[in-house]
Amino acid sequence: MMQGMIPEAVVKVAQKFVETPLGPEQRSEFIGQLVVLAGVQLAEEEIRAALRRHPMIDELWNASSVAQALREEGRVEGRVEGLRDVARLALEQVRVRLGLASCQQ
């Protein structure tokens, strides 16, 4: 079903969801699931670029629980990476104060 999929095909299917007599929340969730399925064959940036060219579809995507979960995951990963950076800096400071070799290679 998804073999040979191109980003514009994702937009065409999403447009069908926009045109259905569903509520905005249901449309949004269907589009979120569509993006997940499209991600099996397409790069995330290809999909996002195609959606951004269609503001209504992009808005529904951004409102989906899938998009919200991905944003939250990104925030968590960013916080974790930030904490790692702080830990590395603290370790480097301790090494410098103790006169030990730098942990930088």
* pLDDT tens figures, 6-58: 888 888 988 888 888 888 889 888 888 888 888 888 888 888 889 889 998 88
Q: Which residue has the higher pLDDT, 105 or 45?
A: 45
The dihedral of CA 66, 72, 76, 81: what is its sign?
positive
Residue 43 lies in domain: 7-98
Is 48 within a domain? yes
Q: What is the C-alpha separation between 26 and 95, in angstroms, rounded?
A: 55
Token pair of 59 as six digits: 């808005």
Total-model pTM: 0.63
Is 30 within a domain? yes
Q: How many domains does one find in the chain? A: 1
